[in-house]
Structure 1
Amino acid sequence: MSLPRQVSIAVIGAGGVGKAFLSQLAKLTTNLSRSPSTPTHLSLIWLSTSKKALYHADYKTLNNWESELSASSTTPLPPAELAEYLVKAPGKVVLVDNTSNQDVADSYPLFLKKGISIVTPNKKAFSSTFSLWTSIFDAAGNGKGNGGYVFHESSVGAGLPVISTLKELVETGDEVVKIEGVFSGTMSFLFNSFQPTSGSGGGKFSAEVKKAKDLGYTEPDPRDDLNGLDVARKLTILARLAGLEVESPTSFPVQSLIPKELESCTSGDDFLARLPEFDGQMDELKAAAEKEGKVVRFVGSVNVPKGEVKVGLEKFDKSHPIAALKGSDNIIAFYTKRYGDNPLIIQGAGAGGEVTAMGVTGDLIKVLRLLQ
Structure 2
Amino acid sequence: MFFSLPLEDVCDSLEKSTQSNLRISEIIEYLAAAPSKVVLVDNTSSQEIANSYPQILGEKISIVTPNKKAFSSSRKLWEDIFTAATPGTHVYHESSVGAGLPIISTLKDLIDTGDEILKIEGVFSGTMSFLFDSFAPVKGSGGSWSAEVKRARELGFTEPDPRDDLNGLDVARKLTILARLVGMQVDSPTSFPVQSLIPKELEDAASADEFLMNLPKFDAQMEEIKVSAEKEGKVVRYVGSITVATNEIRVGVEKFSCSHPISTLKGGDNIISFHTKRYSNSPLIIQGAGAGGDVTAMGVTGDLIKVIRQLS
Which amino acid in 2 is paired with 1:300?
Answer: G
Matching of residue 229 in structure 1 with residue 169 in structure 2? yes
Is residue 2:20 matched to residue 1:92? no
Structure 2 equivalent of residue 35 of structure 1: none
Q: Do residues 361 (structure 1) and 306 (structure 2) align?
A: no
Q: TM-score, normalised by structure 2?
A: 0.98
| 2:289 aligned residue | 349
Matched, 1:313 2:247: no
The equivalent residue for 2:277 is: 337
Q: How does 1:1-372 map to 2 (within 5 A)?
A: 56-57=1-2, 59-62=3-6, 64-140=9-85, 145-146=86-87, 148-198=89-139, 200-372=140-312
Q: Say which SS state the counterpart of residue 178 (structure 1) adopts.
A: strand
Which amino acid counterpart does residue 299 of structure 2 have in structure 1? G
The answer to whether the 8 A contact 1:235-1:309 is kept is yes
Aligned residues, how many? Answer: 311
**Equivalent-residue separation in structure 1 for 2:11 and 2:268 (angstroms):** 31
Q: In the alignment, what sits opposite 1:7? A: none
Is the Cα contact below 8 Å between 2:5 and 2:13 reproduced in 1?
A: no
Question: Deviation digits for residues 156-203 of structure 1, max 9, x if unmatched?
Answer: 0000000000011111111000000000000000000001111x2100
Provide the identity percentage.
67
Give the partner amino acid of 2:30.
Y
8 Å contact 2:92–2:303 — kept in the other structure?
yes
The code of the aligned residue for 2:141 comes to G
What TM-score does the superposition give when structure 1 sets the normalisation length?
0.82
1:173 counterpart SS class? coil
> Deviation at 1:146?
3.0
Give the superposition deviation at 1:148. 2.0
**Contact preservation (8 Å) 1:153, 1:359:** yes
Instruction: Please report the RMSD computed on the Cα atoms of aligned residues, expressed in angstroms.
Output: 1.0
SS in 2 for 1:90: coil
Shift of 1:90: 3.2
Q: Is the 8 A contact 1:334 1:344 kept in 2?
A: yes
User: By how many angstroms is 1:66 displaced?
Assistant: 2.6
Q: CA deviation at 1:65?
A: 1.9
Instruction: Give the distance between the partners of 2:274 and 2:20, measured in 1 at CA.
Output: 44
Q: Deviations over 1:298-352 (max 9, x none)?
A: 0000001111111000000000000010100000000000001210000000000
Q: Which runs of 5+ in 1 are unaligned?
A: 1-55
Partner SS state of residue 147, structure 2: helix
2: distance between equivalents of 1:369 and 1:157? Answer: 23
User: 1:44 corresponds to which residue?
Assistant: none
Question: More displaced, 88-97 or 267-276?
Answer: 88-97
Q: Which amino acid aligns with 2:17?
A: S
- Whichever residue aligns with residue 149 of structure 1, its letter is H
Report SS of the residue matched to 2:264: coil
Name the amino acid aligned to 2:205: C
Does the 8 Å CA contact 2:171/2:251 hold for their aligned counterparts?
Answer: yes
Structure 2 counterpart SS, 1:253: coil
Q: CA deviation at 1:365?
A: 0.6
The aligned amino acid for 1:175 is E
> 1:60 Cα deviation (Å)?
3.9
- In structure 1, C-alpha distance between the alignment counterparts of 2:137 and 2:79, rounded to whole Å: 42
SS at match of 1:209: helix
The code of the aligned residue for 2:59 comes to K
Tell me the amino acid that sits aligned with residue 256 of structure 1. S
Q: How far apart, CA to CA, are the structure 2 residues paired with 1:66 and 1:60?
A: 13
